[in-house]
Amino acid sequence: MLVSNSKSRSATLYPIEKKHVVRLEKTASLLEYRAQHAEGNTVRQWKRSDDAKTAHEFAQKNVGKLGITKDAAANIKSLAKEQVKLSRKIKELRKEQNRKQEFEDKEQRRLEAFKSGRIPDRERHQYKSGW
């Protein structure tokens, strides 16, 4: 994962930086998520996830040493961006679910209060229609 090369000639290794370690962590997280939610060839997905974890561990131990190509750095960067987008999307979905649940809970409490007679008469007209 750290020494991928799309060219036919030999690749130059560059020093591993802290940003590469952070991006590798995000990449490993994304690939693990994909493997957990994969419908097709899950063995291949899990292998890619394990490779990313191994690369992350290697990068953590070898910060400042030669060990990453430009192609690998670009690939890791794009996967890390994808993971950030996915985590934002998941966060927004959870927020929306929480809002819906809070609204349903609030409506349930209002309905129970109406049925028990705890709502004043001036507000009762709101709840008579539809229930």
Helix axes 18-36, 42-61, angle to 10 degrees: 160
Q: What is the pLDDT of residues 45-91, one digit of tens each?
A: 888 888 889 999 999 999 999 988 888 888 899 999 998 898 899 89
Res 95: pLDDT: 93
**Residues with Cβ within 8 Å of residue 55, at least 6 apart in sequence:** 1, 2, 24, 28
In the beta sheet, which residues pair with residue 15? 66
Whether the predicted pLDDT of 103 surpasses 80: yes
Angle at 73 between CA 67 and CA 74, to 5 degrees: 160
Taking the complete model, does pTM exceed 0.85, yes or no?
no
**Residues with Cβ within 8 Å of residue 58, at least 6 apart in sequence:** 2, 67
3-state secondary structure (DSSP) of residue 107: helix
Domain ranges of the chain: 14-128
